[in-house]
Amino acid sequence: MYSITIKTCGNPDRFQDPDKPLMGVPTTVLESESMEGLQSLVQDFQTENFIGSGNWINPKVLHNGAVVGVMSFNCKLWEN
């Protein structure tokens, strides 16, 4: 099982506070049986919540509880 915990921050380019989460977007855990499925869930989450790259905090990606890397805004997995 792949999982990711998404946290956001305000984008100073849009006059949002970068020290606070993006208003209305709670910390969210997404899970999928495959990396491709997880990437699709993340893209849907970004679209549904109007998250831009300036709001993105690169989260750790776990596979069966072990960290395998981090995910950038474009959903690329950067392996450890």
How many Å apart are CA 80 and CA 59, to the nearest integer?
13
Q: What is the pLDDT of residue 17?
A: 95
Q: What are the two backbone dihedrals, phi and then psi, of residue 43, each rounded to the nearest 5 degrees?
A: -60, -40
Please, which residues bridge with residue 3 across strands? 31, 62
State how many domains the chain has. Answer: 1
Please list, in sequence order, all residues whose beta carbon lies within 8 angstroms of the beta carbon of residue 44, skipping any fewer than 6 positions away.
none
Q: What is the pLDDT of residue 42?
A: 98
Domain that holds residue 27: 2-73
Q: What is the pLDDT of residue 36?
A: 97
Measured in residues, the chain has a length of: 80
Evaluated on CA atoms 68, 46, 6, 14, the torsion sign reads positive
**Residue 80 domain-assigned?**
no
pLDDT tens for the chain, residues 1 to 80: 999 999 999 999 999 999 999 999 999 999 999 999 999 999 999 999 999 999 999 999 999 999 999 999 999 999 98
**Residue 79 domain-assigned?**
no
Q: What are the two backbone dihedrals, phi and then psi, of residue 22, each rounded to the nearest 5 degrees?
A: -65, 125
